[in-house]
């Protein structure tokens, strides 16, 4: 998903806050990864869950 799609899905509007509070921590925790890691500012950049991220989602759905 694109950053804007994730942000819209979560109902968050402020781009910089979303990036600092949600996107970067999720990437640092290895829950999300970039589809084009060599070009982090690409207009085509998207994010996908890692294996760890998918496991986290399954655990939160059970709760």
**Model-level pTM?**
0.86
Q: Rounded to the nearest 10 degrees, how much is the dihedral formed by the CA atoms of 53, 4, 19, 52?
A: 0
Place of tokens 């970039």: 34
Predicted confidence (pLDDT) at residue 5 exceeds the cutoff of 80: yes
Predicted confidence (pLDDT) at residue 63 exceeds the cutoff of 80: no
Tens-place pLDDT, residues 12-52? 999 999 999 999 999 999 999 999 999 999 999 999 999 99
pLDDT at 41: 93
Query: How far is residue 7 from each of residues 21, 31, 38, measured CA to CA in Å?
Result: 11, 16, 22
Residue 62: pLDDT band by 50, 70, 90 thresholds? Answer: confident
């Amino acid at each position: 998903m694109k950053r804007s799609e994730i942000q819209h899905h979560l109902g968050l509007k402020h781009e910089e806050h979303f990036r600092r509070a949600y996107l970067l921590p999720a990437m640092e925790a290895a829950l999300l990864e970039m589809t084009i890691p060599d070009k982090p500012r690409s207009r085509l950049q998207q994010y996908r869950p890692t294996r760890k991220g998918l496991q986290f989602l399954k655990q939160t759905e059970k709760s």
